[in-house]
Structure formats: structure tokens, C-alpha cells
Amino acid sequence: MDRVNRMIQEELRNFLALAKDGLRSGAYIYPFKGIVYFLSHPSLYKPMLSKLAPTVTLSLVVTGAMFFFTYIPQAAILALTSGPLIAPFSAALLVLSESSTIISYLAKSGYGFDQETILNLFDGTLLACGNEQLVAKDRKIKPASDPMARLGHFFKKGGSSLMNKMMVGTFMYIGAQGTRVGPLMHARYFYLKGWGSKERDEWLQKNRGAYASFGAAAFVLEMVPFASLIFAYTNTVGAALWASRLEKTFAANPSLRDATEMKSM
């Protein structure tokens, strides 16, 4: 029992340290910036208006069905393991997570959006932020005023994986999901930078808290009932805004940029 307690305390310390680094980084703000930027730039969402109706319908059907058929059974099981006070909240979180997974799978199977839509949105946001040179590494850029209209054909289409007993246990679960989701949201950015697995892993290790906080915020938004796929769009915009900010940081700090590029050679 003492060993288990020590392990729990160690996990809690690691989680708190990660959370502290994430809060300090400010990366968790970008999913919310993505919402504002997406809504205030019609050129980004107009090409996807035709997909919104099936997207919302899919979210409504799946989330409603999951709560109707699985919430009570899962709450009953969790009441036995986590206690009656925590079980309702934990069961709701679990159902939302399961619904989000199902919706994402169905959407990527043709009911709502596909990976190319996400890549176009990410690249279009980068162009809107003035990162033409970065986007041009993997696709043709056409002359136009609309950033989405400027997107030409891909050269390789890399980075397509952009697209995942106490209350503290619930927050640790969200944090764990954040460490998984955060790096995936920048898969396209890492590809455009030309980073291999070594360079990418070194960068993620140095910025672990930032990516965990971004991923946690994005994960929570995508669990919002009936709107998970909409937030998948806005989270993509937020990830691109963060990438654009990183590019400005590299440009303002040549030594940091040069060190990173030397590693990727």
C-alpha cells in the first residue's frame, strides 16, 4: 500500500509540474484563439459550409445515442469503483470521450470532413498569417487574395496525422489525453519544417508542458456535446496560429532557428 501511495504521489507531482509548465507557456490559449480567428475570417470556413449540416447532424445523433444507451450503465459501474459522488461526472466525461472518438472515426470515413479538409484549413491559416514560404514547401501557391483559394496541389501531402477514484484522476486523464493530442495537432507543421523523428521528439520533450496544455484544451473542446467536429476545425486553426507564432519566434531569434535547422540537416 505504501508503494502504491508513493507511485500515486509521484504521478501527481509529475502532473502538477507538467501543468505548471503548460500554464506558463500560454499554449492552452490557442484552441480558443482558433475559435475567434475561424469565426472572424469567412474565407476559412466558407469552403466548409456544405459540410456543416452533416457534421452537426452526425454529432447530435452519436452523442444523443451514447448518452441514452450507455450513460446510466457506465455511471452505475463507476459508482462501485469511484464512489457515488464522482461517478456521474466521470461517466459523463467517459461518454463524451467515447462519442468524440466515434464521431471522429465516422467523419474521417466520409461523414463530415476528411484529412485533406483539415490540411487545407491548417495551410490556409498559415497563409493568412503570412507564412507562404513555409506552406510552399509542400504545395503550389496560386495567386489570389483569398488564402484558401491560393492553395494549390500538394507535392507529397505530408503530416496528414494532424488530426486523437478522485476528481484529480479526471484531470489527470484529460492531461494524459493532452500529451497525446497536442503533438498530433502539429504533425503538419513538423513536416513543413522538415524535421525528422529525432528533431521532432527533442522539440516535444523540451516543450512537453506547452503541448500537453494545448492538447488538453483542444481535447476538452472536442468533447463538447453536438459540436465536437466544429471544434476540430477551430482547433486546427488554433494549431496553425501557434505554429505561425513559433515561426515569428524563430525569425526573431536566429540562434534558436539555426540550432533547430542544424539538427534537422
pLDDT in tens, 207-264: 999 999 999 999 889 888 777 778 888 999 999 999 999 999 988 887 665 445 434 3
Distance CA 128, CA 147 (A): 6
Contact 139, 153 (CB under 8 A): yes
- pLDDT at res. 52: 73
Q: Do the beta carbons of residue 58 and residue 106 sit within 8 Å?
A: yes
Q: 152 in helix, strand or coil?
A: strand
What integer is the mean pLDDT of 136-140? 95
pLDDT number for residue 170 = 55
98, part of any domain: no
Confirm whether 257 is domain-assigned.
Answer: yes
C-alpha cell of 152? 494549390
Residue 2 has pLDDT above 80, yes or no: no
**Does 114 or 27 have the greater pLDDT score?**
27
C-alpha cell read off for 129: 498569417
Contacts of residue 32, defined as CB under 8 A and 6 or more positions apart, other chains included, come to 217, 238
Instruction: Give domain status of residue 96, yes or no.
Output: no
Rounded-to-integer distance, Cα 106 and Cα 113, Å = 9
Backbone angles phi, psi at 55, to 5 degrees: -65, -50
Residue 136's pLDDT band (cuts 50, 70, 90): very high
Q: Is 79 exposed, middle or buried (0-12, 13-18, 19+ CB in 10 A)?
A: middle
Nearest alpha-carbon partner for 12 in 172, 158, 213, 144: 172
What the block records as the C-alpha cell of 37 is 480567428
Q: What is the average pLDDT across 102-115?
A: 70
pLDDT exceeds cutoff 60 at 20? yes
Mean pLDDT of 45-74: 86
pLDDT of residue 28: 95
Whether 71 is in a domain gets the answer: no
Asked if residue 95 belongs to a domain, the reply is no
pTM (2 d.p.): 0.81
Q: What is the mean pLDDT of residues 144-153?
A: 93
DSSP secondary-structure letter at 224?
S
Domain count, the chain: 1
Residue 143 to residues 67, 237, 240, 261, Cα–Cα distance (Å): 48, 22, 21, 29
79 domain residue, yes or no: no
Residue 1 corresponds to which cell in the numbers above? 500500500
Higher pLDDT: 10 or 238? It is 238
Residue with cell 489527470: 172
- 262 or 56: which leads in pLDDT: 56
205, with CB counted inside 10 A (0-12, 13-18, 19+), is exposed
d(CA 168, CA 218): 19
Domain housing 156: 2-50+114-263
Q: Which three cell numbers stand for residue 145?
A: 487574395
Least confident range of 2-6, 9-13, 38-42, 69-73:
2-6
At 166-218, the pLDDT tens digits run 444 556 667 778 888 899 999 999 999 999 999 999 999 999 999 999 999 99
The DSSP secondary-structure symbol of 154 reads: E
Percent of the chain with pLDDT over 90: 46
60 in a structural domain:
no
